[in-house]
Structure 1
Amino acid sequence: MTDCGCDKARAELEEYLRNEICRTDASEIRAHLETCEGCQSELHIGIVLTQTVQRACKETAPEELRDQLMARLRGLQVL
């Protein structure tokens, strides 16, 4: 296993977080993250950002707002 370096680790960090890269690349990035504090910091920011977005996506708008939005969309479709 080799250290991929900061450039590759940072370029592929989002895919790494979502498990969207091959095992070899993931292993190289994981090995790099074990020793690089700068990239560990980037990873932490990525994790916090991902969790925040996931929480925000679980929220639902109030029913009245959804009804108003749907009415406007229907109005636009008629035009």
Structure 2
Amino acid sequence: MTDCGCDKAKAELEEYLHRELSDEAFRDVTEHLENCEDCTGEHLVGITMTVKMQKACREKAPEELRNAILSRLTEV
């Protein structure tokens, strides 16, 4: 394991959440999170925000609004 302190773990948290780190870096951050309450809290906030954003991106506009926008676009 390489040295993975709070600064490194927090700097790589976004990539960690999306599994965009190398295997070694991912293991380092995972191990750090297992032993650091502060970083674990940051991780939980990141997970919550990621889930909320994913949910928000799945929502669709009401059909009436969608049709009005498409109609307006064809007019332009």
TM-score normalised according to structure 2 size:
0.87
Aligned length: 76
Matched with 1:41 is: 41
Matched with 1:26 is: 26
CA shift for structure 1 position 3:
4.2
CA shift for structure 1 position 36:
0.6
Gap regions ≥5 residues in structure 1: none
Distance (whole Å) between structure 1 residues aligned to residue 3 and residue 40 of structure 2: 14
Q: Runs ≥4 in structure 1, deviation > 6 angstroms?
A: none
* Alignment root-mean-square deviation, CA: 1.5
CA contact (8 A) 1:3 1:29 kept: no
The alignment-based identity, stated in percent, is 53
TM-score normalised according to structure 1 size:
0.84
Gap regions ≥5 residues in structure 2: none
Q: How big is each residue's C-alpha offset from its partner over 1:8-61, in whole Å with a ceiling of 9 and x where there is no partner?
A: 111110110111110010011011101110100000000011111111111111
